[in-house]
Amino acid sequence: MATLKDVARESGLTVGTVSRVLNNRGYISDETREKVYAVMRELNYQPNEMARSLSKQKSNTIGVIVPHIVHPYFAKLISNLEQAAYELKYKILLFNSKGKEEKEGEYIEMCKSNRVAAVILCSGSFHTEQFRKLDFPLITIERFLDEGVAGIECDNYRGGVLAAEHLISRGCRHILHIGGVSGLPMPADKRKQGFEDVCRKNGVEYKEVEPGQAYYDDMHYYPVICQTLEQYPQTDGIFASSDLIAAQVIQVCARKGIRVPEQMKVVGFDDVNVAALTTPGITTIRQPVKEMAEAAVTLAVKAAKGDMVPATSMFPVTLVERGSTGNGKPEASR
Amino acid sequence: MATLKDVARESGLTVGTVSRVLNNRGYISDETREKVYAVMRELNYQPNEMARSLSKQKSNTIGVIVPHIVHPYFAKLISNLEQAAYELKYKILLFNSKGKEEKEGEYIEMCKSNRVAAVILCSGSFHTEQFRKLDFPLITIERFLDEGVAGIECDNYRGGVLAAEHLISRGCRHILHIGGVSGLPMPADKRKQGFEDVCRKNGVEYKEVEPGQAYYDDMHYYPVICQTLEQYPQTDGIFASSDLIAAQVIQVCARKGIRVPEQMKVVGFDDVNVAALTTPGITTIRQPVKEMAEAAVTLAVKAAKGDMVPATSMFPVTLVERGSTGNGKPEASR
């Protein structure tokens, strides 16, 4: 592998001159610059990022820890984080915790020994202990974490409000909310609060189910949806806490001969690709994932440089109407 | 940040002894070992992976380049690659090329300067030039590449055969194949060959459409599906080259009042989560993505060590029956 020294020797210049060309520092004639570039190409010289990182004790890498990769919400999030990082010349080291504490701990150690510039955490069963003595900033997305430098959230409460208001405006009178993960306190819990407040204010009857961690892990909500619909047969509207759950609600309804949207209206959350791929398409609360990912990366880079960053950033959500609540327009794309 | 020297000084031992403890080399008493570990914890010492990588000029990182992250096939692939890498103590540097050549080239340069152990390439518009003079092995998944060390594929031809045979056995007589990307030669092209051979052998009329790169990029096949169904109104069975396309076929049929599976039977390809989330669920050809990802990582690590690896590895596919071809069983999970 060619080194800086090899380039200097081949081009008949000093290492200092070659280094100045590489780092674009000081005065260098066009002739010299071109000569150095020609030799670099000839020798297939690659500046060694690892050596650079070592000398400054930080890499231009951001660790990203998620609980799922195949879950469409996290796939969309990772995609947008990668794009935002690319634009700031950072790379993504990707870790899938599967919600397991020991794996999360191990990943944090890996991030430490790889001298990442920052970690973006979208997984949250960590004990706070593990987050002490970190020498990089920790940015969370849709998670609470005392030790985090900055948290990114969408306006979950408003999302719950919009969902309930929409179902009620479409004539639903017996509404059901299917929550996500129980146990761990999460910003997403506020969806339920917004939903409840609107139902109470409008005097509409509502029920709630929390499927729990096991369903979240395998993403397979069939049994709990079936059981809930049998328990509450009057239900005419469902607010699911993710599009993934809403898609499965539509399937269970089809199997039970309940027509969506005529007999049952369904609202999801997230606005991931699945919402636009089901039949009918899913009316949903859109998280601005692109903007949230951009903010997470920007704050990570700023915080890594020692700049002050806002402790929480909350992004607005919007209602996207599709067929599952009776809107007949063509399915909107992502 | 604590160094090896700090640990040595604090524990009253030599740097050599501390290093032997860290690397588990030579004889070390339990007492010494425990003392070193205690001091390491106290000082929050982290072995520096970057320094280690630099000394051996290779990191324990594998670059993964995909054309999409949100596409459910690639999301599933990335998830399985990350898991397989984790088991072999490797990390994933993730790059989303969006099929753009200049981005792919830039990523390969990033991989070079980060001294990755290997690159797994699932994106394929590269000029072969860019792959010369690489000092790491290149493993491809479902792509052709002359310069690649090893290619992983599924049995695409057999997939096309299974899809056509299934549609014919369910009574379809006017079958349509909707292909994926045109232009670039890909292993997936063999799906079409298998499909054609079976249709011809059975004397069944068939048509083919190739939506092309633009549709692949934005994953939104609506217009081309609508247009094709208007062009070939007799169609009673469709073999789509991905579950993503199949999901959109089901939506277009619903909009046109064509009942699936009664009037139109649909078979997809991949068996990603979307296939189990549509209504009805999608009968599909399952790629063994987990096994393919494990093979890719194993071969990458072997090849990085200089071991010989098979030039191509082809994995079997299977038919998974769901509602879109008339199977009434509950949707199978992933």
Which tops the pLDDT comparison, B57 or B300?
B300
The CATH homologous superfamily to which domain B56-154+290-315 belongs is Response regulator (3.40.50.2300)
Residue type, A75: A
Q: Which of A100-109, A240-249, B164-173, B322-331 has the lowest mean pLDDT?
A: B322-331
Q: What is the spatial distance between Cα A102 and Cα B257, in angstroms, rounded to a whole number?
A: 51
| pTM attached to this predicted model | 0.79
| Paired strand residues for B266 | B238
| pLDDT for the residue B189 | 86
**Residues of chain B contacting A114 with CB distance shorter than 8 Å:** 49-50, 91
Residue A332 has pLDDT above 50, yes or no: no
Beta strands in A67-163 (DSSP E): 91-96, 118-121, 138-141, 150-154
| pLDDT for the residue B98 | 81
Q: Residue B130: which pLDDT band, with cuts at 50, 70 and 90?
A: low
Q: What is the spatial distance between Cα A198 and Cα A192, in angstroms, rounded to a whole number?
A: 10
| pLDDT for the residue A228 | 95
Put simply, the answer to whether A54 touches B76 (Cβ < 8 Å) is no
The CATH homologous superfamily to which domain A57-154+290-315 belongs is Response regulator (3.40.50.2300)
Judged by CB atoms within 8 Å, which residues 256-315 of A form the interface with B?
A: 272-274, 277-281
| Paired strand residues for A239 | A177, A267
| pLDDT for the residue A33 | 82
- 3-state SS string over B163-193? HHHHHHHCCCCEEEEECCCCCCCCCCHHHHH
Q: Which of A107-116, A219-228, A279-288, A297-306 has the lowest mean pLDDT?
A: A107-116
CA distance readout (Å), A249 to A226, A265, B33: 8, 10, 56
* Secondary structure (3-state) at B9: helix
**Residues of chain B contacting A266 with CB distance shorter than 8 Å:** none
Q: Average pLDDT of A306-332?
A: 82
| pLDDT for the residue A129 | 61
| pLDDT for the residue B128 | 54
Torsions phi, psi of B139, nearest 5?
Answer: -110, 130
The CATH homologous superfamily to which domain A156-287+318-325 belongs is Response regulator (3.40.50.2300)
Task: Out of A299-308, B211-220, B268-277, give the one with best mean pLDDT.
Answer: B268-277
Q: Residue B333: which pLDDT band, with cuts at 50, 70 and 90?
A: very low
Residue B25 has pLDDT above 70, yes or no: no
Q: Residue A333: which pLDDT band, with cuts at 50, 70 and 90?
A: very low
pLDDT in tens, B238-250: 999 999 999 999 9
- Among A115, A218, A254, the residue with its CB nearest the CB of B50 is A115
Which tops the pLDDT comparison, B15 or A267?
A267
- Among B79, B114, B135, the residue with its CB nearest the CB of A50 is B114
Pick from A279, A329, A331 the residue to mutate for testing the B interface (most B CBs within 10 Å).
A279
Q: Average pLDDT of A9-20?
A: 83
Residue A334 has pLDDT above 80, yes or no: no
CB B252 within 8 A of CB B281: no
Q: In chain B, which residue's Cα lies nearest the Cα of A103?
A: B86
Residue B328 has pLDDT above 60, yes or no: no
**Residues of chain A contacting B256 with CB distance shorter than 8 Å:** none
pLDDT in tens, A50-64: 666 656 667 789 999
The mean of the pLDDT values for chain B is 86
Q: Which two tokens stand for residue A61?
A: 């890498």
Residue B116 has pLDDT above 70, yes or no: yes
* ipTM score assigned to the predicted complex: 0.72
CB B191 within 8 A of CB B146: no
Put simply, the answer to whether B135 touches A333 (Cβ < 8 Å) is no
CATH C-level class of A4-47: mainly alpha
pLDDT in tens, A65-124: 998 898 999 999 999 999 999 999 899 999 998 877 777 778 888 888 888 999 999 876
Pick from A79, A119, A217 the residue to mutate for testing the B interface (most B CBs within 10 Å).
A79
Q: What is the spatial distance between Cα B236 and Cα A31, in angstroms, rounded to a whole number?
A: 68
Residue B102 burial (CB count, 10 A):
9
Q: Where are the domains of chain A?
A: 4-47, 57-154+290-315, 156-287+318-325
Q: Average pLDDT of A199-224?
A: 88
Q: What is the spatial distance between Cα B80 and Cα B9, in angstroms, rounded to a whole number?
A: 44
| pLDDT for the residue B212 | 78
Q: Residue A24: which pLDDT band, with cuts at 50, 70 and 90?
A: low
B222 shares contact with chain A (CB less than 8 Å): yes
Domain B4-47 and domain B156-287+318-325, same fold? Reply is no
Beta strands in B134-249 (DSSP E): 138-141, 150-154, 174-178, 205-209, 237-240
- Among A59, A79, A95, the residue with its CB nearest the CB of B70 is A79
- Among A46, A86, A96, the residue with its CB nearest the CB of B113 is A46
